[in-house]
Copies of this chain bind each other. A is one copy, B any other.
Amino acid sequence: MPRYKLVIEYDGAPFVGWQRQDNGPSVQQALEEAAERICGEPVRFHAAGRTDSGVHALGMVAHVDLPKTLPDGKLADALNAHLRPAPVAVLMAEDTGEDFHARFSCIERRYLYRILTRRADPALDRGRVWWHARSLDADAMHAAAQVLVGHHDFSSFRAAECQADSPVKTLDDLSVARCAEEVHVTARARSFLHHQVRNMVGSLALVGTGKWSAADLRAALEARDRAAAGPTAPACGLYFVSARYGEE
């Protein structure tokens, strides 16, 4: 069976998340149903990251084994035709080797978190940004964020439901920059704990309002206790941007 690698964009708002669940529609289910209509039998998609409900993707990577061979461009077109009106779009689909695994072969995942900092709530970007009515000092956030970069025990930023074997991860980059009315947080690592990006953003926002210093953020990290860190930032501001693989 040929294996295909896909790059996928989706609006997370109407979904319970990437993964199939009993309580509502998932991105995985939308893709699998579209593929089943093309191939005539059930297939299984595997993604680089299992995003939560409301989390978006600009370039999620997934793979699927199909019982029939389709020209690369034709597969993306056919999936997109069957996916409508679900807000999921296959940007690229290509034949790949059997040893490629979207999750296990991935060596780097990149996320973007968008915070809209203005008095008025968003009209055009509702559900696409975290609306933070108070202003945030992006420079202070960026400076403090460097405390979290590197090899650490991230227990303070780990959701209780996290299924990872260890809370120790290496965070390769955590950058904060102002972009007009928005503050953008970008995070890059081989892998993340459950809710790690949203929990780091929630604490960085405390730095941005001046409530926390970089030393407070360091103390939260060193406590290795979820209760020591800030709140979880909302899902709607988070975007899975891209996944990198060894051959690239």
Contacts and interface: CB of A to CB of B under 8 A. Distances in A.
A118 interface: yes
Interface of A: 9-11, 56, 58, 73, 76-77, 80, 84, 87-91, 118-124, 126, 128
A120 B80 contact: yes
B90 A124 contact: no
A120 B72 CA distance: 13
A120 B83 CA distance: 11
B87 A123 contact: yes
A76 B119 CA distance: 9
A59 to B, nearest CB: 11
Contacts of A118: 91
B121 A84 contact: yes
A126 B122 CA distance: 17
Contact of A10 (B80, B84, B90, B123): B123
Given A73-B119, A119-B76, A119-B77, A87 B124 contact: yes
B77 A9 contact: no
Given A77-B119, A88-B123, 7 more contacts: A9-B122, A9-B124, A73-B119, A80-B121, A84-B121, A89-B123, A124-B128
A119 B11 CA distance: 18
Given A87-B126, A126-B87, A120 B76 contact: yes
A93 to B, nearest CB: 10
5 contacts: A10-B124, A84-B121, A87-B124, A89-B122, A91-B120
A128 B87 CA distance: 13
Contacts of A76: 119-120
A123 B9 contact: yes
Contacts of A73: 119
Contacts of A10: 123-124
